Amino acid sequence: MLSLSARAARRVPLRAFSTSASRSADMAKLSLIGRLGRDPEVRLTKSNKEYISYTIATENSSLGLPEGAQPTTTWHYIFSFSPSSNNYLRTLRKGSLVYAEANFELRQPDPSADPDSPEGQKQIFLRHETLRLLRAPKREDNDNDAE
């Protein structure tokens, strides 16, 4: 019995983290619940492929903040390259409360770019995975077509 547990102990890895190259099973995902900051926008890549960009605003809770401190809003810029998702995203409007999941990628700065330009700084790239509408925005009654 002792020899069985000694064999099992030898199979346990010595460290929990690895410095080896990433594998396809590795992932970094961000889950957000917030409001669309503007209507999703249709854009084109350099190779004329259509994609959608949308922005979600999240607010940090006032819980745990020092008294009198105001919560802050964080803006998350997300890109969707999926034609089927893009058709749905086009129907959403500014102010919609949404749940979104996005793949997270930290892009390194271009060494030849000006350090003050966006290309010269680290950038977070969020690629759309899923989005669920939790609540549509309140309708504005600007349709006052008088009789």
Answer for the pair 98, 134: CB distance below 8 angstroms, yes or no.
yes
Element (H, E) at 86: helix 83-89
Answer for the pair 67, 6: CB distance below 8 angstroms, yes or no.
no
First CA to last CA across the chain, in angstroms? 91
pLDDT by residue for the chain (147 residues), tens digit each? 445 555 444 554 544 555 556 566 677 899 999 999 999 999 999 999 999 999 999 998 767 778 878 888 999 999 999 999 999 999 999 999 999 999 999 889 888 989 888 788 888 899 999 999 999 998 765 555 444
Do the beta carbons of residue 76 and residue 32 sit within 8 Å?
yes
What are the tokens at 83?
């034609």
What is the C-alpha to C-alpha distance for residues 9 and 134, in angstroms, rounded to an integer? 48
Question: What is the C-alpha to C-alpha distance for residues 131 and 127, in angstroms, rounded to an integer?
Answer: 12
How high is the pLDDT of residue 119? Answer: 84
Spatial separation of the C-alpha atoms in residues 82 and 88, rounded to whole Å:
10
**pLDDT attached to residue 147:** 44
Helices and strands: H and E segment counts in the chain = 2, 6
